[in-house]
């Protein structure tokens, strides 16, 4: 029993590594032609499919394994992938808001420890299938599961019960991601309230349990509190986030008590309390807590992902509204101005006015002040 649990844990870990790598690659990989993306997508589909074939100890899985190893090997060993590895190694510093200032970035050092971890993830994804299959073959544990040819081409994942759950959860996550990308308050609210409940239903259905209606009510309350945390600042936001997490934790403990499925309950907690809410709102709510969410900051010359933030301060006994701007990960314009406007129709710069009508110009994307007369033509 212990060995079977460890075996399942190994393949779950493999799926998590693949999911992390896929998200990073989709955000960092660049090709000059569509053929490169097509080859990479085929390789990734085969790789996810191979995990389920290996879990079933399928003898003929060697065919898709060889095809994947060659396809993905061509990608890994190409020059295009080296830049991807470097950009993936920057992700932790971006998410944790520890990147150097914009004017220091050109002299910043690489992240060797993170770079090493990224390479380990990539080489795990590339070489693990052939290594595992070799172990299964040498120990004579491979079997013939009577799969059809199309199962080896990528459809075994849709036949396996766990694979169907993975596909359904990926669909839910992609919907949340697309809605979060727009950073539309109303759409994000509905996604935040609905998608985690759908995921909870799917997870309980997978373990063969019918959810009690009160669990949905409690989830709704916890998710509503999470939504309201966006409009709080500093310690008050922390309190709302803790309250939301505590309510969702109680629901997942209820699930654990009824099902005795530890892994499924922990997975439900992470997905419902962290992943789907974060994807739905489209930004890191745990960073940049000095300002509450406001309307989106829109400039035609900039990509999406910026919003105004605001806070109320007590100045000489009077409540004063202060504004700033943040992106998906951090504050780029500090929350201390009375008015902030785009400096031009296509400009990436913002004109920020203080209470005394002094003008300060910020590069919204990089978050640094510049002198208009010296830095702009």
Between 187 and 4, where is the model more confident?
A: 187
- Rounded-to-integer distance, Cα 178 and Cα 187, Å: 10
Give the residue-averaged pLDDT of 238-247. Answer: 96
Predicted TM-score (pTM) of the model is: 0.84
**Residues near 333 by beta carbon (within 8 Å), at least 6 away in sequence:** 324, 325, 326, 340, 350, 352, 362, 364, 367
Q: Is 150 exposed, middle or buried (0-12, 13-18, 19+ CB in 10 A)?
A: exposed
Give the residue-averaged pLDDT of 83-90. Answer: 71
Which range among 99-108, 246-255, 337-346 has the greatest average pLDDT? 246-255
Structure tokens at 4: 């079977």
Between 217 and 359, where is the model more confident?
A: 217
Question: What SS3 state is found at 2?
Answer: helix
- Rounded-to-integer distance, Cα 323 and Cα 355, Å: 11
For position 98, what pLDDT does the model report?
64
**Helix H or strand E segment including 107:** none
Quick: pLDDT tens for 259-268: 988 888 998 9
For position 377, what pLDDT does the model report?
41
Residues 282/181, Cβ–Cβ less than 8 Å: yes
For position 317, what pLDDT does the model report?
76
Residues 15/121, Cβ–Cβ less than 8 Å: no
Residues 245/273, Cβ–Cβ less than 8 Å: yes
Residue 80 has pLDDT above 70, yes or no: no
For position 111, what pLDDT does the model report?
63
Band of residue 273 on the pLDDT scale cut at 50, 70, 90: very high
Neighbours of 203 (CB within 10 A): 24
Residue 119 has pLDDT above 80, yes or no: yes
Quick: pLDDT tens for 131-146: 999 999 999 999 998 8
Give the residue-averaged pLDDT of 351-363. Answer: 87
Lowest mean per-residue pLDDT among 21-30, 202-211, 245-254: 21-30
Give the residue-averaged pLDDT of 232-249. Answer: 95
Q: To the nearest whole number, what is the mean pLDDT of the chain? A: 86
Give the residue-averaged pLDDT of 220-246. Answer: 96
- Rounded-to-integer distance, Cα 244 and Cα 95, Å: 21
Strands laid side by side in the 331-337 sheet = 292-296, 307-315, 318-326, 331-337
Between 256 and 370, where is the model more confident?
A: 256
Band of residue 300 on the pLDDT scale cut at 50, 70, 90: confident
**Residues near 184 by beta carbon (within 8 Å), at least 6 away in sequence:** 296
Lowest mean per-residue pLDDT among 29-33, 80-84, 335-339: 29-33
**Helix H or strand E segment including 238:** helix 234-259
Band of residue 107 on the pLDDT scale cut at 50, 70, 90: very low
Structure tokens at 246: 């505590």
**Residues near 282 by beta carbon (within 8 Å), at least 6 away in sequence:** 179, 180, 181, 182, 183, 188, 305, 328
For position 79, what pLDDT does the model report?
66
Structure tokens at 257: 């008590």
Structure tokens at 169: 């959860």
Question: What SS3 state is found at 310?
Answer: strand
CA distance from start to end of the chain: 71
């Amino acid at each position: 029993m212990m060995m079977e649990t460890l075996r399942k844990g190994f393949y779950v870990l493999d799926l998590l590594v693949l999911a992390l790598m896929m998200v990073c690659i989709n955000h960092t990989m660049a090709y000059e032609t569509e053929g490169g993306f097509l080859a990479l997508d085929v390789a990734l589909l085969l790789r996810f499919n191979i995990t389920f074939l290996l879990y079933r100890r399928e003898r003929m899985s060697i065919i898709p394994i060889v095809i994947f190893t060659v396809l993905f090997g061509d990608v890994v060993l190409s020059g295009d992938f080296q830049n991807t590895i470097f950009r993936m190694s920057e992700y932790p510093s971006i998410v944790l808001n520890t990147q150097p200032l914009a004017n220091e970035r050109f002299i910043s050092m690489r992240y060797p420890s993170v770079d090493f971890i990224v390479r380990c993830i990539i080489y795990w994804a590339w070489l693990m299938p052939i290594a595992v299959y070799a172990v299964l073959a040498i120990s004579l544990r491979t079997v013939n599961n009577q799969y059809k040819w199309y199962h080896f081409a990528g459809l075994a994942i849709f036949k396996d019960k766990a694979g169907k759950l993975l596909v359904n959860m990926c669909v839910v996550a992609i919907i949340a991601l697309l809605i979060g990308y727009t950073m539309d308050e109303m759409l994000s609210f509905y996604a935040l309230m609905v998608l985690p409940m759908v995921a909870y239903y799917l997870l309980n259905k997978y373990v063969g349990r019918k959810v009690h209606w009160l669990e949905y009510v409690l989830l709704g309350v916890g998710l509503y509190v999470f939504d309201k945390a966006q409009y709080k600042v500093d310690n008050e936001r922390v309190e709302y986030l803790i309250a939301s997490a505590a309510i969702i934790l109680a629901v997942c403990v209820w699930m654990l008590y009824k099902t005795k499925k530890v892994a499924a309950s922990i997975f439900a907690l992470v997905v419902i309390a962290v992943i789907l809410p974060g994807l739905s709102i489209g930004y890191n709510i745990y960073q940049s807590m000095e300002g509450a969410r406001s309307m989106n900051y829109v400039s035609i010359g900039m990509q999406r992902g910026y919003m105004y933030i605001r806070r109320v301060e007590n100045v000489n006994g009077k409540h004063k509204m202060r504004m700033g701007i943040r992106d998906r990960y951090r504050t780029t314009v500090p929350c201390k101005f009375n008015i902030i406007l785009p400096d031009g129709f296509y400009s990436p710069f913002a004109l920020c006015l203080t209470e005394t009508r002094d003008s300060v110009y910020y590069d919204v994307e990089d978050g640094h002040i510049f002198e208009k007369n010296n830095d702009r033509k």
